[in-house]
Structure 1
Amino acid sequence: MIFRVFFSSIQKSFCNTVKFCRYPLICLLVLGGTISCRFDAYPTLLADQGVLDGHSVNFRRDTIPLIGQWEFYWNEFLDPKQVSPTNKSYLKVGVPWFSQANEEGEGYPSYGYATYRLKVRLPKRTNQSQPYSLFVPVLHSAYKMYANGQLVAENGKLGINVATHEPSFHTKILPLTSVNGDLDLVIHISNFSHKYAGIHGLIRLGHLDRIIPLWNVNYTVSWMIMLFLGFLSIYHALVYFINRSEKNALRMSYVYLGILILSSTLIESRILFNLFPDTFCMPLFRFSRIGIVIVLYFGASILLSLAQMRVFKKVISFLKLYCLTFLMVSVLTPVRHLAEIVFYFETLSAFFILVSLVSVSLALYLQRKDSQLYFYSLVLAVFGGIIDLLLISNPNFGYRPMGLVSLYLFILPQTLGVTFGLVRVYKRSESISKELYKRKEALEKKVKARTMELEKANRWKANFVSLISHDLRSPLNSVNQILDVIDFSFSETSEEEKKKFLGICKSGVSQSLRMLEQLLDVSRFDAFGTKLIQTKFSVNELLNEIIESIEPLATLKGIRIQKDTPIEAEIIADRTLIGEVFKNILTNSIKYSYLNSEVWVGVSFKGKWLSVEIRDRGLGMSEEQIHKLNGDENIKSTPGTAGERGTGLGLQLCMNILEAHFGKLRINSVLGVGSSFEISLSKSTKSVLLVDDSGNFRSELAEVMRRNQWIVIEAGNGEEALSHLARITPSLIITDLHMPGMNGISLIHEWEGRRNQNQKIPIILISSDAPLTGGETFLEEEGLETIVSAYLSKMYKAEDLCQQIELILE
C-alpha cells in the first residue's frame, strides 16, 4: 500500500512537470529537427588572398565551399586569361559586397559591376577520377563564369548600367570536364536590381557524382517543404471553417501561404525562378515581397491580439497601413529603385517583430490563452533570425544560414497548438453531449425533488395557517367579548374597570398584530425559495434598532439586555429578514427568561463567518425539543415565564431565513439554566448580481458561487436587475444575453447610462449561443469590448463556469 501511494505520487509529479514544460519541449524538438536538416558542417578550408589549397581534400567523399578571400576588381570586367593583374584587392565571398570595405575603408555600393577571381589547387586526377563540377547558387544578379579562361556559364545579361543589365536568379550545376589540374575561376558580376550584390551564396566544388545528389536532395527537400506548407495552409483554413471562432487558424493559413511563396522564391533551390525564363525574374522578385507582406501582417496580427490590450489594437491598425504601403511599393516601384526601397521596408519590419515580442510577453504575464506556446516559439524564431544574421555576416564559420527555418520554428508549434485545440474542442463536444444527457437525468430527478418540496411547503403553510387561525381566534374572541360587556353596561362600568378592559383589548390586538407580521414575513417564502432583497448594512446598527424596539418588553419582566459588540461588522443580506431573525430570537429569549435576569448579545468574527450570539437565563430546552426544532415536525409553543403564548413557528421561520442566506443557527441549551443561540452569517463582501430568466440554470450557478463564498443576488430579467442595482453595488454582474423584455445587451447599455463614474463593475455576458472559445469577436461587433470582461458559454458545467469567472476577475 505504501509503495502504491509512493509510486502514484511520483507519477503525478512527473505528469505535472511534463505539463509545465510542454511548450519548451515542443519548441526544442522542432529546433533540434530543423538543425539536423539545415546545419550541414563544412570543411574549414578557406581561401587566402585569392588562393584555395585543396590538395589534401578527398573529393571522392567531400565537396567543399569556395569560401574565404577572393581577388576582387571593382567596376572592371577582368580578362579571364590575364595572368597577373596589377590593381587587385581582396574580398570575402558569402556576404554581399556592399557590406564590406576596400583597402581605403570605403564601402562598396549595391549597384555596380565587378570581377571575382579564385585559384584553386586541386589534387592530381587519375583516369578513373570523376570530372569536377560546380554547384552555383544565385549570384546577384547577372554573371559570366570562366574556368581556366574558358566561358562555362552565363546567367542573365551583364551590363555596366541599368539599361544594359538584365538580372537572373537561376541556380546551376556546371561540369568542368576540361579542368585536369588547378582551377582558375573568374566571375564577372553586374548588379543593378538587387540590394544584396555579388557572391552572396556559397559556391560548392566537387566531383560530379557528389554534386548531383546534393542538388537532388536540396531540390527534393524544397518541394517537400512547399507541399507541406500548402497542406498546412489548407488544413488551417479547414480548421477555421469547422470552428469559426478560431480566427487565428485562418490567420495562420495566410501565414503558411506567405511562407510558401517565400520558400518557392528565396530558399537555395529557387524553384520558381528555375521554372521560368529570365523575363519573369523581376515579377517573381515582386511576388516574393508579397509573401513577406502576407507573413508580416497576419503573423504580427496574431501576436499583437494575444495580449487583448487596446494599445496593441492601435498598432494593428498602423500595421495594416504599413503592409498596404509595402504591398503597393513592391508592385508599383520601378525596377531601378525597387530593391533599395524594399530593403528599407524589410528593415523597418523589425519594429513590429519587437512589438509582437512585447505583446506576447505581456500575454504570458497575464496568463492569456496559448501565450506560453507563442512566447517560446517567437523567442526561438528571433533566436534563429539572430543566428542567421551572424552566419550571413561571417560565412567562414562553416555553417549555412538557417534561412526560413527561423520562421518554421515559429509556425510549426502553432500548428501543434491549433491541432491540440481542435482535439480539445471535439473532446469537449463529446463531454458536453454526455453532460447534457446526465443533466437531463439530473433534471428529471430535480423536478421530482422540487415537486416533493412543493408539496412539503404547501403542507407546512397549511399547518401554519391553521395554527395562526387558532391562535388569532382566542385573543380576538376575548377582545370581542370584552367589548360586548363594555357596550352592554358602559354607563354602569367604573373608569378603573374601563381602563382595565381596554388594556386587555390592546394586549390582545397587539398579540394578533405580531402574529400577522409573522404571517406576512412567511408569505415571502414560496416553492422556489426566498425572494431576497439584499443590501449592504451594518449588523451593529440593526441590532441596536431591534433591541430598542423590544426594550419595553424586557423592562416589563425586569430583564436587562447586555450588549457586547466590540467590532464593526457589515454584511450583504436581506436586512428586513435578518432583522426578523434577531427580533424573533431576542423576543424568545425574553419570553423564556426568568424575571429580573439578563439576556446577553455578542458579535464576533469566526474565520469566514460573522457570529451573532444571544444567551439567556431561563427555562432552557431539552435535546428532544432542539431536535424537533431542527426537523420538519410542527411543534406546539410552550408558555413563557410570564404565561406568554406563541405560534411555535418562530425558530423554524428563522432557520428558513438563514438557510436562504446560506447561514446557520446553532442552539445549545440546558433545562432550567438557559439557552444559547449562535447565528452565523457569511462576512464575504464578494457579491454578484446574477441575471438569467432560466430559474434552473440560475439557481445551479448561484449555489456553486455561494459555496465559493460569493453573495449571490438573483434577478430574472433586466428590469429586476436594475431595481437591485438601485439599492446595492455588487462586485460583479453576470447577465444572460437572451431574456424576455430587457435582454442582456439592453441591460448593459442601460446600466452604463445610469451608473456613476465611480461605479465601475466588471460585467460578464453569458449565453447558450456563445462559442466555447473566442467570444471576443462578438463583443467587438456589439461595441462592448471595453465594457464586458468576457463572453462565456452556458454549455460549461456550473463549476467550470464559476472557475472561468474567477480566473477572469483575477
Structure 2
Amino acid sequence: MESYIKELEKLRVENEKLKSILHEKDNNSINSAEEKYQTLFVELKDVLYESTPEGKLVDINPSGIELFGYDSKEDIMKINIADDLYFNPLERDKLIEKIEKDGFVKDYEIRIKGKKGNEIIVLETSFMIKNNDGKVVGYRGIIRDVTETKKQEKLLRKYNEELAELNEQLKLSEGELKKVNEEKDKFFSIIAHDLKSPFNALLNLSEFLVEDLSDLSMDEIRSFSKEINKSAQSVYDLLLNLLQWAQIKTGRINKTQEKIELSKLVRDTLIFLENIASKKSIKIINNADDLSLIVGDRTMISSVLQNLISNSIKFTKRNGNIFINSEEKDDKIIVHIKDTGIGISKENLNKLFKLDEHVTTIGTANESGTGLGLILCKELLEKNNGKIWVESIEGLGTTFSFSLEKA
C-alpha cells in the first residue's frame, strides 16, 4: 500500500511539472503572437483602428495618426469620429448601418476629412465586435489611403476623354479635308472647262485680226474687238472667282466687322454695273432703306451684291427691271434683289449654291457664266453670319434674298 501511495505521489509531481511546462509554452505562444500583432500594428502602412458604437476611438495605429494629420495618439483619441473625420456625419451612419446589416464591409469607399480639412479618399474593410450576449460593443477595421490612386484615375479619365475628343476632331478634320479636296478638284475642273471657251475665242479672234486685219472693215474690227473684250472679261471673272474661293478655303481672306449703311453700299456697287445694265436698257431701282445699318465686311458684302446684281442683269431681257429692297426682321436685315428676267426652272433651283451640282445658263444677250458666283456668295455670307436663298418662277423672274446681322 505504501509503495502504491509513493507511485501516486510521483505521478502527481510529474503532472505538475508537465502542467508547468505547458503553461509556459502557452504563455510564450501568447506573448509571441502579441509581439507579432504589436509589430504589425505599429509598422503597417494601412490604418488599423478600433472604435465604440458612439464614435470614439479605442485604439489606432501610428499610420492612422499620420494619415489624418494629428500630432499624437492622445490628440486623435479625443476626436468624435462622425464630426471630426467625416465631411458629412450622416455618412458614418450609412457605414455603420451597412456593417450591422451585413456583418462587415469590404473596400467601402469613403471621403475622410483630415485635421486641416483636406480630403482623403479611403477604402475601409471593417466588422462588428460583439460581447457574449451578442450586443455590438465596437467596430474594428483596416483603412487604406487611395487618394493618390483616385487622383491618377481621374486624371487618366480626363486624358482618355481628351484623347477621344481629339480623335473625333481628327476624324472631322479628315472629313473636312476630304471635302475641301473634293471641292477643290470640282472647282478646278469647272474653271478649266469654262476657261477653255473664252481662251479659244481670244486666240481665234486675235489670230483672225492679226492675219486678216487689212481685209476687214472698221465695223468688223469693232465687232471682233467687242468679242475679244467679252472673252477677256469672262476670263477675268473666272480668275477673280478662283482667287476669292482660294482665299476663303485657305482662311487667308481678311474679314473686318463694321457698321455699314446698306443703301450707300448698294449705290457704290451700282456705279460699276449701271453701264452694263444700260447696254440692255435695264432699269435698276434701289429701294434699300437709307436707315438700314448692317454688320459685316464691306468688301465681302459688296462682292455679294455685285455678283447677284450682275446675275440679274445677265438673265433679264432688254427693257427689264431690277428692284433692290430691304426689310428688318428681328435682329436681321433682309435684302431682296428681284428681276423681271427669264427665271429658273424648279430642277435647277435645287442645284444652286452646290458645287457638285454645276449649273450654267447662257444670258439673254449670250453672256457666259459658270454658276460659281452664287457659290461664292453663299460662302461670303456665311463668313458674315448670313444666309442666302432664292425664289423663282420660270419665265417671270427671280428674287435672290440674303440676311445679315442688324447693327
1:636 maps to what in 2? 359
Question: Within the alignment, does 1:651 sit opposite 2:374 as a pair?
Answer: yes
Query: Partner of 1:681: helix, strand, or coil?
Result: strand
8 Å Cα contact 1:524/1:530 also seen in 2: yes
Question: Compared with structure 1, are the counterparts of its residues 509 and 631 closer, same or farther at alpha carbon in structure 2 (3 Å cutoff)?
Answer: closer
Gaps of 5+ in 1: 1-222, 241-426, 686-810
Aligned with 2:297 (options 555, 559, 574): 574
How far apart in 2 are the matches of 1:525 and 1:429? 44
Pairing of 1:173-572 with structure 2 (within 5 A):
239=118, 437-526=160-249, 531-538=253-260, 539-572=262-295
1:611 maps to what in 2? 334
**Structure with a larger share of its residues in strand:** 2
How far apart in 1 are the matches of 2:151 and 2:274? 62
Question: Compared with structure 1, are the counterparts of its residues 669 and 492 closer, same or farther at alpha carbon in structure 2 (3 Å cutoff)?
Answer: closer
Once the two structures are superposed, residues 242-273 of structure 1 have per-residue CA deviations (whole angstroms, 9 ceiling, x without a partner) of xxxxxxxxxxxxxxxxxxxxxxxxxxxxxxxx
Once the two structures are superposed, residues 417-460 of structure 1 have per-residue CA deviations (whole angstroms, 9 ceiling, x without a partner) of xxxxxxxxxx9999997666445324322322221222222222
How far apart in 2 are the matches of 1:591 and 1:537? 30
Q: Alpha-carbon deviation of 1:489?
A: 2.9
Pairing of 1:635-714 with structure 2 (within 5 A):
635-683=358-406
Letter aligned with residue 621 of structure 1 = I
Q: Alpha-carbon deviation of 1:637?
A: 0.3
Once the two structures are superposed, residues 183-225 of structure 1 have per-residue CA deviations (whole angstroms, 9 ceiling, x without a partner) of xxxxxxxxxxxxxxxxxxxxxxxxxxxxxxxxxxxxxxxx999
Say which structure, 1 or 2, has more relative contact order (CA 8 Å, 6+ apart).
Answer: 2
Query: Partner of 1:485: helix, strand, or coil?
Result: helix
How far apart in 2 are the matches of 1:673 and 1:576? 31
Question: Compared with structure 1, are the counterparts of its residues 444 and 624 closer, same or farther at alpha carbon in structure 2 (3 Å cutoff)?
Answer: farther
Letter aligned with residue 298 of structure 2 = R
Once the two structures are superposed, residues 638-678 of structure 1 have per-residue CA deviations (whole angstroms, 9 ceiling, x without a partner) of 11122111112221121122223331112111111111111
How far apart in 1 are the matches of 2:154 and 2:335? 45
Question: Compared with structure 1, are the counterparts of its residues 676 and 509 closer, same or farther at alpha carbon in structure 2 (3 Å cutoff)?
Answer: same
Gaps of 5+ in 2: 1-77, 88-112, 120-149
Once the two structures are superposed, residues 360-402 of structure 1 have per-residue CA deviations (whole angstroms, 9 ceiling, x without a partner) of xxxxxxxxxxxxxxxxxxxxxxxxxxxxxxxxxxxxxxxxxxx
What is the count of residue pairs matched by the alignment?
272
2:93 maps to what in 1? none
RMSD over aligned Cα atoms = 3.3
How far apart in 1 are the matches of 2:224 and 2:172? 52
Q: Alpha-carbon deviation of 1:619?
A: 1.6
How far apart in 1 are the matches of 2:265 and 2:339? 20
Once the two structures are superposed, residues 573-608 of structure 1 have per-residue CA deviations (whole angstroms, 9 ceiling, x without a partner) of 232222211111111111112221111111221102
Letter aligned with residue 595 of structure 1 = R
8 Å Cα contact 1:614/1:678 also seen in 2: yes
Letter aligned with residue 238 of structure 2 = M
Query: Partner of 1:599: helix, strand, or coil?
Result: strand
Q: Alpha-carbon deviation of 1:239?
A: 4.9
Larger Rg: 2
8 Å Cα contact 1:567/1:603 also seen in 2: no
How far apart in 2 are the matches of 1:430 and 1:678? 55
Question: Compared with structure 1, are the counterparts of its residues 440 and 627 closer, same or farther at alpha carbon in structure 2 (3 Å cutoff)?
Answer: farther
8 Å Cα contact 2:264/2:290 also seen in 1: no
Q: Alpha-carbon deviation of 1:679?
A: 0.5
Aligned with 2:347 (options 619, 624, 639): 624
Q: TM-score, normalised by structure 1?
A: 0.31
How far apart in 1 are the matches of 2:152 and 2:316? 63
Query: Partner of 1:614: helix, strand, or coil?
Result: strand
Letter aligned with residue 623 of structure 1 = K
Letter aligned with residue 249 of structure 2 = D
Letter aligned with residue 356 of structure 2 = E
Once the two structures are superposed, residues 677-700 of structure 1 have per-residue CA deviations (whole angstroms, 9 ceiling, x without a partner) of 1101122x5xxxxxxxxxxxxxxx
